[in-house]
Structure 1
C-alpha cells in the first residue's frame, strides 16, 4: 500500500527518505535549471502518485538540530503532529526488530526501546 493512501485529499506528505523534488532543488539547494530538471524527472513517479491521491509531496533535507527536535516533540505532545508507530521492540530483541523491518511490512515506525 502506498503511504499516500493514508492521507486525506488535500493533505501533504513530507519525506526525508524519498526522492528530492524540483522544489527542493530550487528552494532548499539553490540549484540551477539542470539539477532542478533532473530532480523533477527523478521524482516524476512519486509526484504522479501524490496527484493521483490528491495529495502534495515535498522532500526535506534534514539538518541535525536540537532546537528543531524540541519543536517536533512539542507538536507531538500537543497532538498537532501525529506519529505512526507500527511496533515497539525491547533492546534485547533488536535482531528481531531488524528482521521485521527487512520483511517490508511495517506500516509506521519500528521503535527499539532501551
Structure 2
C-alpha cells in the first residue's frame, strides 16, 4: 500500500483558511504546509516525467508542469496563479483533441477515424 500524506487533505485546507481569516499564519501552520508543499512539488515533477515518457502532452507543456507549483506558491503574491491557470488551461486544451477537431475528423466510437459519406 503506498504511503499517504500526513493527515487528510481537508486538514491543509482548514489550516490555510484559518490562516487567511486570522491574517497571518498560526505557529502550527508550517508543520502542515511544508510537507504538503513538498509532496505537491514532488508530485508535479513525477507528473511531468510521466507525461513526457507517455508522450501524452507536448514535451514543452509537460516540462512546464512543475512551474504550476512554483507559480502557485512562490509567485502567488505577484499574480503567479494567472500563469498556473494558463498552464492548466493549456493542459486541458491539449488533453482534449476532440475540442479542436471538426466533427468529420473526430474519432468514431471504435477509435477509428470517422469516414465521410
Does the alignment reach a TM-score above 0.5?
no
Between Structure 1 and Structure 2, the one with more helix by share is 2
Between Structure 1 and Structure 2, the one with more strand by share is 1
TM-score (normalizing by structure 2):
0.23
TM-score (normalizing by structure 1):
0.23
